[in-house]
Chain A
Amino acid sequence: MGSLGNYVIRRILFAIPVIIAVSVITFLITNAAGNPLQIVKLGTKSMTASQLASLEAYFHLNQPIYIRYFLWLNDFIHGNLGVSLYSGSVSARIVPWIGTTLELQIPALFLALLIGVPIGIYSARHQYSKGDYAITSAAIFGISMPTFWIGIMLIIVFSYYLHWLPAFGAISAYPPYWWGSTFTDAIAHAILPLSVLTFVSIATITRLTRVNMLEVLRQDYILAARASGLSDRTVIYKHALKNAITPVLTIVGLSFGTLLAGAPALETTFSWPGLGFAFVNAATSLDLPTVLGITMIITLMVLAANIITDLAYAFLDPRVRIT
Chain B
Amino acid sequence: MAWRRFRKNKSALIGAAIVGFFVFISVYGVFFAPYPPRSFYCLFNGCANLPPFTNWAHPLGTETSGIDVFSEILHGALGDLYVGVAATAISVAIGLLIGALAGYKGGPAGALLLGTTQIFFVLPVLVIILLFARIGQLLVAQGLGLTLIVVILGIFGWPTIAFVTRGEILRIKELEFVQAARSLGASNTRILFRHILLNVLSPLIVLSSLLVAGNILTEVVISFLGFGDPNTSTWGLLIEEGFSYVRTSWWVALFPGLAVVFAVLGFNLLGDGLADALNPRIRE
Contacts and interface: CB of A to CB of B under 8 A. Distances in A.
B135 A30 contact: yes
Interface string B173-202: 000000000000000000000000000000
B74 interface: no
Contacts, number: 135
Given A140-B268, A144-B268, A149-B260, A257 B254 contact: no
B260 A295 contact: no
A42 B260 CA distance: 33
B86 to A, nearest CB: 20
Nearest to A306: B122
B121 A306 contact: yes
A128 to B, nearest CB: 10
A302 interface: yes
Nearest to B257: A149
A152 B122 contact: no
B119 A283 contact: no
A261 B127 contact: yes
B126 A146 contact: no
B261 interface: yes
A10 B58 CA distance: 62
Q: How large is the interface on B (under 10, 10 to 19, 20 to 34, 35 or more residues)?
A: 35 or more
B131 interface: yes
A75 interface: no
A283 B122 contact: no
A214 interface: yes
B260 A141 contact: no
Interface of A is mostly: helix
Given A140-B265, A152-B239, A156-B250, A18 B221 contact: no
Contacts of B220: 146, 149
B127 A279 contact: yes
A153 interface: yes
A170 to B, nearest CB: 19
B131 A295 contact: yes
A264 to B, nearest CB: 6
B221 A303 contact: no
Nearest to A148: B224
A265 interface: yes
B122 A299 contact: yes
Nearest to B262: A144
Given A18-B118, A279-B127, A284-B226, 14 more contacts: A18-B119, A25-B128, A32-B135, A140-B268, A145-B264, A148-B221, A149-B257, A160-B250, A257-B123, A260-B124, A261-B127, A279-B130, A295-B124, A299-B122
18 contacts: A15-B122, A25-B128, A29-B131, A32-B139, A33-B135, A141-B261, A146-B217, A146-B239, A149-B239, A153-B254, A156-B254, A160-B246, A160-B250, A268-B224, A279-B127, A283-B131, A284-B226, A303-B122
